[in-house]
Amino acid sequence: MTIKKSYADIVEFLKANENKKVSSIMDEVLLMAESKKQSSTHLLNDDGTVFAIFCYYHKQWEIVADVEYGSKANTVTKLNTMCKVGTSKWTKKQRDAKIAKATLLDEVANGNIQPNDIKGFTNDIEEQRLTMDTDDMPIGYANEEEVLAHR
C-alpha cells in the first residue's frame, strides 16, 4: 500500500502506538493533522529585517531577537528554519534513533532479542524519535497575531 506523503507521519505514529487507546494519543494525532500551512515561515519588521521565524521543530513562532537561530545561506531569511535549541534536539533524536536501530540489529544477531519482537522495538524507537523534547524550549507564540503583538 502506498501512503500519501502528507499522511506518512501520522500513519507512522499510529503504527508506533497501535496498542494504545485512541484517547491517550488523540491530542498528538490532532497536532500532527492540524494544518501547518503558514502564509509565511517568517515575519519582517517595517524596515525589512527578519523579526520572527516559525520554528520547524517547536511548531511555534519565535522572535529572532529573543531566540538564537543559526545561519543558513539557501533560505530566504538566511537563517535556519529551526532555532539552535530545536536543531540540537532534532539532531540528537535522529542520531539516537540511528544508534538504537543499529543496537537492535546487534541484539537480534546475538540472540538477545527474537526476530518477531523487532517491530515492537522499532516502533518504540520511532515514537521516541518523533516526540518533541520541550526542555529548554524558548518562549514562542501560536500564531502570527500573537507574535505581531510583540513587535
Q: Are residues 99 and 46 in the same domain?
A: yes
- The tens digit of pLDDT for each residue in 6-39 reads 788 888 888 888 888 888 888 888 877 776 555 6
Tell me the torsion sign for CA atoms 54, 56, 59, 65.
negative
- pLDDT, tens digit, for every residue of 35-77? 655 568 999 998 999 999 999 999 999 999 999 999 999 989 9
Residues 71 and 29 placed together within one structural domain of the fold: no
The number of beta carbons lying within 10 Å of the beta carbon of residue 93 is 17
Q: Residue 111 pLDDT > 70, yes or no?
A: yes
| Contacts of 24 by beta carbon, 8 Å cutoff, 6+ apart | none
Q: Show the CA angle centred on residue 138, arms to residues 132 and 144, nearest 5°.
A: 95
pLDDT band at 150 (very low <50, low <70, confident <90, very high): confident
Strands 79-83 and 69-71: antiparallel
Say if residue 30 is in the same domain as residue 45. Answer: no
What per-residue confidence (pLDDT) applies to 37? 56
Do 29 and 89 sit in the same domain of this protein? no
In one-letter notation, the amino acid at residue 119 is: K
**Do 18 and 72 lie in a common domain?**
no
Q: What is the pLDDT of residue 36?
A: 56
Q: Are residues 134 and 77 in the same domain?
A: yes
Residues 64 and 128 in one domain: yes
pLDDT band at residue 3 under the 50/70/90 scheme: confident
* Average pLDDT along the chain: 90
- Between CA 145 and CA 51 the distance in angstroms is 13
Same domain? 28 vs 99: no
Q: What is the pLDDT of residue 116?
A: 93
What whole-number percentage of the chain has pLDDT above 70? 97
Q: Quick one: pLDDT at residue 33?
A: 78
77 and 144 assigned to the same domain: yes
- Statement to judge: residues 10 and 84 lie in one domain: no
Tell me the residue length of the chain. 151
The whole domain housing 47 covers 39-148
Residues 118 and 55 both lie in one domain: yes
How much is the pLDDT for 127? 94
Q: How many domains does the chain have?
A: 2
Predicted local confidence at residue 61, as pLDDT: 97
pLDDT score recorded for residue 80: 96
Q: Are residues 13 and 53 in the same domain?
A: no
